Structure 1
């Protein structure tokens, strides 16, 4: 174990919690109407025709065909991204890959998957899906419409994931029921909310998931987008009403498919107890993989990430 001993933060990114305590963290109680709120949004998203448009990308790779992609999400929001297809073998599985709050400027080609169509959407307001007046700065993006429970941008980002699934099904109808999701940090939290109600996803992988246990998230010193939400909360305490509807841990307790979740013991950006709140809440979690740290470098990082990569490859192996 190589939890960082020195760091530049004026708080302890382990929050003084050993692994046993972290594994005992429970999700918060769901607010009234939580399931009805999300089920209605999911049904509305299912009715949207994503109308995907593909064109050959300027990005090339020896193992993958690379296509630039645009599809329509809810509210006719144009979502940009990429679709990569294996040069060898059939397409027998689909995979939607979310991104962190830094967005994405190209697809990932080192994913340990074969015979898989991989879709990399950029959630609304970020990277290829940038659109004024939404800020691409995570500290501002996370606040967009936070005062409007039904319009908060995080909900739109969840819908963008659902429409990514719709896009894969529109292009490859035989993949329905064989589509996975993988997301890190921002993409992990949004992914938990999406998978909870998405019946066409058969398994999911989350790393360092954000947006877990929102009431607790507001109280723990942190950096990045969570700090921005904390500053807003100090002046607008009623925002908790919105945040409780967008709680990845509450959503995770509704997930019914196998999951592989990687969580960290030390993380200055996504507090570990909030990550564990998500992982611990999942009823059928196949495995919780423990990283020494997240959003921060550490001695055993490459070795741990290599082990996790192998597990991800096995997890998304074509049936």
Structure 2
């Protein structure tokens, strides 16, 4: 099918066992995973946060060049967002014009460098790579746990204090900082692209429905999907910390309902390329597929054999996903 509809590519078959990282779900079952009940004021809550974030001037400060690679100079950059001052890396072309802009999220380990996010999916692009508040190294904040297990629980007693809300706001602030530093990244009606994997995929699903500056997104093995189901599935990632907490404090599910990436995806109407894994010890596949299944706009699905661990055929699947990603963004932002 074309880009405007739904397409599925199963790259190859991969064995997963009942009770293992596949959680006993086959592809058919994964494609049927649904969305939890949405709080009545879910949209109002997020639109209110986005409106408040839009009133924060980013005041970006361009820092030193920390690396140069693949035709890009990578700078440190600091900016204001709802929730406080944030840090990011800014990837600027060494030569030539900039016609496209990307915001790129990271996994729950934080961000050390621009790494595999360069080169970018489209030529003539610049990107800002925000570092989630509290995470290594530039995002570290006093009193905020930097380990995933502690970070994912920080402020969970209230939807207004939960740290994941500040991580979402950091994405909005990063877009504002990018557009102030590189105005040509979204001229002539063009809008931004978003890329995020794991933690960055879940944060992107939460951030994008409320921000019309984005034209398309790629979400790879996204987390935070269908919390009520996720909290029944043991894993080795931050979700295990949440699962343990909810077992002792079931009222936390009322807060988590506002930070469910699958629920947010029902409001996400821009084109999205999802890459979801059949086997994943860190982010249970049912939560990943819940995000994809809920998407309200044009969508494409790439099915990976596994996520968050090496596996036979991984380099080829990653190469193919990179090619598909470039084609996808070229169709919607080219």
In 1, Cα distance between the equivalents of 2:269 and 2:123?
Answer: 25
In 1, Cα distance between the equivalents of 2:319 and 2:103?
Answer: 21
Residue in 1 that maps onto 2:110 = 103
User: How many angstroms does 1:113 deviate by?
Assistant: 2.8
Q: 2:168 aligned to 158, 164, 176, which one?
A: 158
For the residue of structure 2 that corresponds to 1:290, the secondary structure is strand
Q: 1:214 aligned to 224, 227, 230, which one?
A: 227
Residue in 1 that maps onto 2:14 = 3
Residue in 1 that maps onto 2:91 = 84
Residue 130 in structure 1 maps to residue 143 in structure 2? no
Residue 24 in structure 1 maps to residue 32 in structure 2? yes
Q: 1:72 aligned to 71, 74, 80, which one?
A: 80
Alignment coverage as a number of residue pairs: 315
Unaligned runs of 5+ in 1: none
Alignment of 1:251-270 (within 5 A): 251-270=264-283
Residue in 2 that maps onto 1:291 = 304
User: How many angstroms does 1:25 deviate by?
Assistant: 1.2
Deviations 1:10-40 (A, max 9, x none): 9411111111111111212211110000000
Deviations 1:212-243 (A, max 9, x none): 00110111111121000111111111000000
Contact 1:86 1:114 in 2 (8 A): no
In 1, Cα distance between the equivalents of 2:179 and 2:52?
Answer: 17
Residue 240 in structure 1 maps to residue 253 in structure 2? yes
User: TM-score by structure 2 length?
Assistant: 0.91
Deviates more, 1:307-316 or 1:199-208: 307-316
Residue in 2 that maps onto 1:275 = 288
Residue in 1 that maps onto 2:130 = 121
Question: Structure 1 189/238 Cα, relative in aligned 2: closer, same or farther at 3 Å?
Answer: same
In 1, Cα distance between the equivalents of 2:95 and 2:23?
Answer: 47
Deviates more, 1:191-200 or 1:77-86: 77-86
For the residue of structure 1 that corresponds to 2:288, the secondary structure is helix
User: How many angstroms does 1:5 deviate by?
Assistant: 5.5
User: How many angstroms does 1:295 deviate by?
Assistant: 0.9
**How much is the aligned-residue C-alpha RMSD, in angstroms?**
1.6
Q: 1:39 aligned to 43, 47, 69, which one?
A: 47
User: How many angstroms does 1:189 deviate by?
Assistant: 0.3
Contact 1:65 1:85 in 2 (8 A): yes
Unaligned runs of 5+ in 2: 1-11
In 2, Cα distance between the equivalents of 1:282 and 1:62?
Answer: 33
Q: 1:49 aligned to 38, 57, 70, which one?
A: 57
For the residue of structure 2 that corresponds to 1:210, the secondary structure is coil
In 2, Cα distance between the equivalents of 1:79 and 1:314?
Answer: 31
Residue 229 in structure 1 maps to residue 242 in structure 2? yes
